[in-house]
Amino acid sequence: MPKKQPKKKRPYTSRPHLFTSESVADGHPDKVADHISDAILDDIIRQDKDCRVAVETLVSTGMAIVAGEITTLAYCDFVAVVRNTIREIGYDDPATGFDWQSVAVLSSIKPQSPDIALGTHTKMRRRQGAGDQGLMFGFACNQTPTKMPAPIYYAHRVTERLGEVRRKGLIDYLQPDGKSQVTFEYVKGKPARVDAVVVAAMHRDVVSHTQIKKEIIDEVILPSFPANFIDKKTKFFVNETGKFVIGGPRADTGLTGRKIIVDTYGGYGSHGGGAFSGKDPSKVDRSASYMARHIAKTVVEAKLADECEVQVAYAIGVADPVSLLVETFESSVVPEAAIEQAVVDTFDMTPYGIIEYLDLLRPIYKKTAAYGHYGRDDPDFTWEATGRAATLKKRAESLA
């Protein structure tokens, strides 16, 4: 049985405090880059499940640069994939300095390193090694129905709503770039109310600040929260510089993997540092992070703990993890060591086991690129299911 680790408790949970997380819209430059990288992965994995893909994208004024390592028998028309992705996001106006029809697409793709391939390609696929060393975290808690921390969950709902009202024409002057930030007040460790909401929304230069602030509050912010979280003291900040006309890749360079905290737990849970987008599931940065989230959520769903963080680590070319840690911040109903052993007994944590169990060799990745990889109600997000909760609970209780 794994050695029991010393307990730790969040230092701020026992007193009233504020906690803030941010989200960014699908048209944010970094998210444009993530979308392109994942769109390329989807196009290749649809044709070749044995592919190895690690794609990075850079977007700036009038250009998109794709680079990385791909080994595959598939054919990918990079120019078409890049332009179609940009079009789907909504960059169709040349005045923004970045539109799908005129963007220059440059590519610098080479095969996966043969030294890395030695660890991941094997005739015994069940012993497929990890594609790299690294540590990954998964987190879950009882703050929302999706077992996500409230600040990041609702920050995503704000940016998701921002995209929805833009696409539906409910606010017809909006452009694709944008951000949100949500601050919750916590009392006795629970989210009690929303203290502040910040929104930056790119727009055409046809509207006053007064109008856009009112319409963003009415059409975007308020519909994104349960009414009981908003009160008379909640503060709203919308485009506080007064103007957000120049945005997207024209205003800021976008890079794949630069929003890893937005992609995960908004800073509430730990992060191992590895980005997700553009990586096929042989890369444990992505697949093991999804599995760690699945395990943490299953622990909370099984009512073994109110809050759970799982750390797992790998060595390149080695199938089994080098370490596994379950931390419940003094909220577990059985010893954490029992939960750890139950996890080992219940879940296959090898790369092959994770890929098979979560069914990751599918073109499902572009939809993960915005609004978070976790806490989403989508059947393709298999890591959000908790079908083994009863099995895990029974095993943990038998070991306690």
| CATH number of the domain residue 220 falls in | 3.30.300.10
How close are the terminal C-alpha atoms of the chain, in Å? Answer: 12
Is residue 59 situated within a structural domain?
A: yes
Is residue 8 situated within a structural domain?
A: no
**Confidence label for 2 from pLDDT (cuts 50, 70 and 90):** very low
- What's the rounded Cα separation, in Å, for the pair 201 and 178? 4
139 shares its domain with 99? no
- Residue 397 parent element (H or E): helix 389-399
Determine the 3-state secondary structure of 232 from DSSP: coil
pLDDT over 90 for what percent of the chain?
A: 89
138 shares its domain with 188? no
Query: Residue 204 sits in which domain range?
Result: 17-23+151-246
270 shares its domain with 317? yes
Q: Is the pLDDT of residue 15 over 90?
A: no
301 shares its domain with 276? yes
Report pLDDT for 1.
43
149-163 confidence digits (pLDDT tens): 999 999 999 999 999
33-74 confidence digits (pLDDT tens): 999 999 999 999 999 999 999 999 999 999 999 999 999 999
Q: Is the pLDDT of residue 3 over 50?
A: no
93 shares its domain with 242? no
166 shares its domain with 296? no
- Residues across the chain: 400
Is residue 7 situated within a structural domain?
A: no
**Confidence label for 332 from pLDDT (cuts 50, 70 and 90):** very high
Please say which residue of 246, 268, 292 terminates a domain. Answer: 246
- What's the rounded Cα separation, in Å, for the pair 78 and 97? 21
Mean pLDDT of the chain: 93
263: left (phi over 0), alpha (psi -120 to 50) or beta: alpha
- What's the rounded Cα separation, in Å, for the pair 362 and 342? 29
- What's the rounded Cα separation, in Å, for the pair 261 and 178? 17
Report pLDDT for 33.
98
304 shares its domain with 184? no
139 shares its domain with 273? yes
Is residue 174 situated within a structural domain?
A: yes
**Confidence label for 355 from pLDDT (cuts 50, 70 and 90):** very high
Is residue 281 situated within a structural domain?
A: yes
CA distances for 278 relative to 39, 43, 138, 148, 339, angstroms:
8, 11, 20, 24, 33
pLDDT over 70 for what percent of the chain?
A: 93
Is residue 353 situated within a structural domain?
A: yes
Q: What is the count of structural domains for the chain? A: 3
pTM of the model: 0.93
- What's the rounded Cα separation, in Å, for the pair 15 and 88? 45
Q: Which residues contact 284 (CB under 8 A, 6 or more apart)?
A: 130, 131, 132, 134, 136, 314, 351, 354
